[in-house]
Amino acid sequence: MKKDKSYSEMMKACAMAGNQLKKSFVADIYIEMLLLEIQLNKEKEILINAINEALDVKDEQKFMELTSRYNQLIKKYGT
């Protein structure tokens, strides 16, 4: 009976595969964090522009509503 790989070779191969999975997992986390950061920045930008527009037209009710939403967003993400 012929052995293709020794036990130590198989263990090395398993360790290398495990390292690849860890690297892939970390890369996925970084990508998700980056996408969430982009989304947060876009939402903040939209709210800031809407707040500025409410100030320009002196719409106090709209201003209060938008600043409340902005503060909730900041509180939720801690930025």
**What pLDDT digit, counting tens, does each position of 31-42 carry?**
999 999 999 999
As given in the structure block, the two tokens for residue 39 are 């989304």
With a cut of 50, which residues of the chain have pLDDT below it?
1
DSSP letters, the chain, are ---SS-HHHHHHHHHHHHHHHHHHHHHHHHHHHHHHHHHHHHHHHHHHHHHHHHHHTT-HHHHHHHHHHHHHHHHHHT-
Give the C-alpha separation, 5 to 27, whole Å: 31
What pTM, to 2 d.p., does this model score?
Answer: 0.66
Give the C-alpha separation, 28 to 51, whole Å: 34
Sequence ranges of the domains in the chain: 7-77
